């Protein structure tokens, strides 16, 4: 019996149609959609095989209400009309497909994506809170978080390149501002700016972050920013060489980012021979189960 998949290409086209949005941030919902895919996947722990992109646990307060997920109710709401139109698709597939589609649409690399994730019907497999990065920390924290998922130092730096997109919001994370001059175009500018600009502590009433102006900007422009976890990449002797390589070679960065993001969105996905993921690899054979809409979860102070 063939899996009950519908037309993923039609879903992709509908995602592309909503990405440009003049009323949201810098004119695109793409960056927050990418963040949704990343946060939905980044809860994985290789120690006990829990978390990951399978299940779409963010529909539940237990995961969606994690302070690190503040603001992602906007991303989920943007995708809800597409879920309603294509009600056969699971949220877990929709969120990850939307993420890779948005990256490509913003001039990023093609990222391999496979369908088959199911949606949890209850909170049994929802991972505990606190597994996502705290941007106020340093390199030891980054390794603790990403090693738990199964990533190495090179992959940590490559994934950090996702900060070529989007911005922080004071009313969500407490941090504020974009990392790069054009936050809706995927590039290796994050690494170039991290190395080349003079980053100084921002003097303001928010949490500690770094601030700088790129060439051609003046003091009337919104300054660029880096988080403590970003700056740690050039302070750490093992992270820094990869920052330098990606700053010098856009093609290398794109190739490595494609591989590591594809790995990220497969975390916690255990597929049967037909490609359908089980709720848990210890469960019986999986089924492609699309969940009904869950109400938006509470928000709190995000950590990225």
Known catalytic residue at 169: no
The pLDDT tens digits for 37-74 are 999 999 999 999 999 999 999 999 999 999 999 999 99
Structure tokens at 272: 């049967």
Q: Where are the domains of the chain?
A: 8-132, 139-257
3 pLDDT above the threshold of 70:
no
Q: Which residues contact 139 (CB under 8 A, 6 or more apart)?
A: 232, 233, 235, 236, 239
Is-contact 153 239, C-beta < 8 A?
A: yes
- Pick the catalytic residue from 38, 113, 179, 199: 179
Q: Which residues in 136-148 are b (16+ Cβ under 10 Å) and which e?
A: bbebebbbebbeb
Known catalytic residue at 179: yes
- Pick the catalytic residue from 39, 95, 163, 242: 39
Domain 8-132 and domain 139-257 have a common topology: no
The pLDDT tens digits for 267-278 are 999 999 999 999
> What is the average pLDDT score of the chain?
93
In CATH terms, 139-257 corresponds, of 1.10.420.10, 2.40.50.140, 3.90.800.10, 3.30.160.270, to 1.10.420.10
The pLDDT tens digits for 187-209 are 999 999 999 999 999 999 999 99
The hierarchical CATH code for the domain 8-132 is: 1.10.520.10
Q: Specify the pTM.
A: 0.94
């Amino acid at each position: 019996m063939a899996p009950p998949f519908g037309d993923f290409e039609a879903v992709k086209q509908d995602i592309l149609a909503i990405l440009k949005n003049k009323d949201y941030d810098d004119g695109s919902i793409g960056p927050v959609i990418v963040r949704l895919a990343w946060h939905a996947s980044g809860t994985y722990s290789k120690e006990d095989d829990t978390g990951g992109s399978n299940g779409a646990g963010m529909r539940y307060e237990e995961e969606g209400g994690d302070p690190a997920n503040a603001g992602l109710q906007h991303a989920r709401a943007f995708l809800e009309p597409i879920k309603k139109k294509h009600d056969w698709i699971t949220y877990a597939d929709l969120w990850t497909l939307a993420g890779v589609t948005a990256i490509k649409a913003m001039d990023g690399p093609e990222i391999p994506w496979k369908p088959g994730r199911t949606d949890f019907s209850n909170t049994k497999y929802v991972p505990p809170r606190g597994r996502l990065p705290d941007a106020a920390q340093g390199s030891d924290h980054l390794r603790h978080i990403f090693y738990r998922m199964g990533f190495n130092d090179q992959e940590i730096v490559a994934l950090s390149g996702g900060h070529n997109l989007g911005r922080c919001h004071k009313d969500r994370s407490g941090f504020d501002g974009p990392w790069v001059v054009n936050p809706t175009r995927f590039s290796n500018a994050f690494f170039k700016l991290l190395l080349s600009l003079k980053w100084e502590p921002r003097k303001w009433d928010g949490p500690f972050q770094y601030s700088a102006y790129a060439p051609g900007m003046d003091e009337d422009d919104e300054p660029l920013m880096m988080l403590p976890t970003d700056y740690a990449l050039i302070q750490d002797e093992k992270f820094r060489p990869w920052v330098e390589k990606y700053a010098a070679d856009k093609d290398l960065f794109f190739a490595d980012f494609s591989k590591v993001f594809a790995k990220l969105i497969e975390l916690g996905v255990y597929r049967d021979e037909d490609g359908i993921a089980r709720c848990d690899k210890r469960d019986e054979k999986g089924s492609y189960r699309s969940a009904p809409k869950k109400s938006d979860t509470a928000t709190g102070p995000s950590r990225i």
